[in-house]
Each structure stands twice: as structure tokens, then as C-alpha cells.
Amino acid sequence: MALLSSADQQVLRDTLATMTRPVKVVFFTQAIGCETCAEARQIVAELTAASERISVEELNPVLDQDRAAQYGIDRAPGLVLLTADGDDSRVRFLGAPSGYDFTALVDAVLLVSGAPGQDLSSATRDRVAGLTAPLDIRVFVTPTCGYCPRAVALANRLASASALITATTVQATEFPDLARQSRVSGVPKTVASNGREVLGAVPEAQFVAQLLDDEAEGDPAGRR
């Protein structure tokens, strides 16, 4: 049974028609010990069926350890988006991107494809251009969180703007061990490898300030 209705499938096709370059989805899955891999496979199948510009490569994080290590994937389901040239976009998803997170996945595909309307502000681009060390960003989400795609979109755009940034969307309910490590009590919660955190879905300037600047101002908003 299809996850999307016929009407939603048409909306998805129309949305993906704005893609300007092909995107490859590297899908890490396994048959044993993964409760949501079947759901993730169906989601990926419906996504790729909606556009001939989206292709998929299926791998196993255990059997294909070298590829998994290349992308920093150590569990399933996991998705990695590659550009038209096969380059790593540094955009990842851990867990089945269902519910509101499917919207975030579609937005990420459009971003990697170079679709219009994906730009950050010039101030943000100038800020990330000054990075000198790698930065890993994890955005913890749940499928029922309507605010979460906003935080995911900002993290993915930062990854698109700097080769030093990797953005990973993590399903908090699927990977409670990762959520506990990052002390996640509400979503969206964004955690960076520099020790900075952002609670809630906040505006771009505040998001960047709280992750990258020495002093950040503003109250968290949009937390669930």
C-alpha cells in the first residue's frame, strides 16, 4: 500500500519538477535488527518514483563498512544525499523520514539539486566561510513535530554552504541512545560538535549565532 495518496503523489511530482540537477540517495538498510528499515525503503521508493532525476543505491552498514565509514553511517536506516557529480552533499538522515520529516527530506533533495529558493543570507554565508575546523551538526526530530523541518532546513543549508559542515537529522524516538547522549528532552534540538546547542526552531540569524558565535542572544522558540 502506498504511503502517499494519489493527490499527494501529484503534489510531490510537481514539487520535485523544480529540481535542476540529479540527486542520488544512498540508502543504508539491513534486514535484521532494524524495525523501521522497511518503512524507510517504501519512503525512498515513493520519492524516487516521483522524479526520474532521483536515483537510489542500497547498501548495508555492516556488509558495506567502507562506504558506511566514508559517510559516517553506523546504523540503519540511514540516508546520504549525493550531488549530480556523485559528491557528498554532507546531508544525512538517520531513521525513517516519515510524517513531517518527509517534508524535510524533500526540501533536502531540492537543496542538493540546486533548485531555486534555497539561499542563506549573505551574513550567514560570510560567517560560515570563516570556519577553519570541521563541524558536525545533529538535529533531533520526531515525525509529529511540525517545527522540526525548519531546524533541519537551516542545518542542511549550512552544510551546503561550507565543505566543513555535515548536517545529520536524527529520529530521536528511533535512536534513544543518541538522544540520551545529547540530553534531548524536546524537539527540535540541534547539537553541534563544538558543544553548542539550539533549542527549538529559531530564525536563521539566531540559529547561526547560537551555533557559531561567541555570544548568542535570544530565547528558544518553537520547541515541542
Looking at the structure, tell me whether residues 63 and 130 fall in a common domain: no
Looking at the structure, tell me whether residues 143 and 77 fall in a common domain: no
pLDDT tens track for 93-115: 999 999 999 999 999 999 999 98
| pLDDT given at position 116 | 84
Looking at the structure, tell me whether residues 96 and 75 fall in a common domain: yes
| pLDDT given at position 131 | 94
Please report, for the domain that includes residue 189, its CATH number. Answer: 3.40.30.10
Looking at the structure, tell me whether residues 15 and 100 fall in a common domain: yes
- State the burial class of residue 61 (Cβ atoms within 10 Å of its Cβ: 0-12, 13-18, 19+): buried
Looking at the structure, tell me whether residues 6 and 77 fall in a common domain: yes
Between CA 180 and CA 177 the distance in angstroms is 5
Sheet containing 189-192: give its strands across. Answer: 54-59, 23-28, 78-82, 88-94, 165-171, 135-141, 189-192, 197-199
| pLDDT given at position 142 | 97
Number of domains the chain is built from:
2
Structural domain including 163 reads 119-213
Q: How confident is the model at residue 18 (pLDDT cuts 50, 70, 90)?
A: very high
Given 65, 92, 116, which residue is the final one in a domain? 116
Looking at the structure, tell me whether residues 137 and 94 fall in a common domain: no
Strands (E), 78-200: 78-82, 88-94, 135-141, 165-171, 189-192, 197-199
pLDDT tens track for 184-211: 999 999 999 999 999 999 999 999 999 9
Judge if pTM exceeds 0.95.
no
| pLDDT given at position 117 | 76
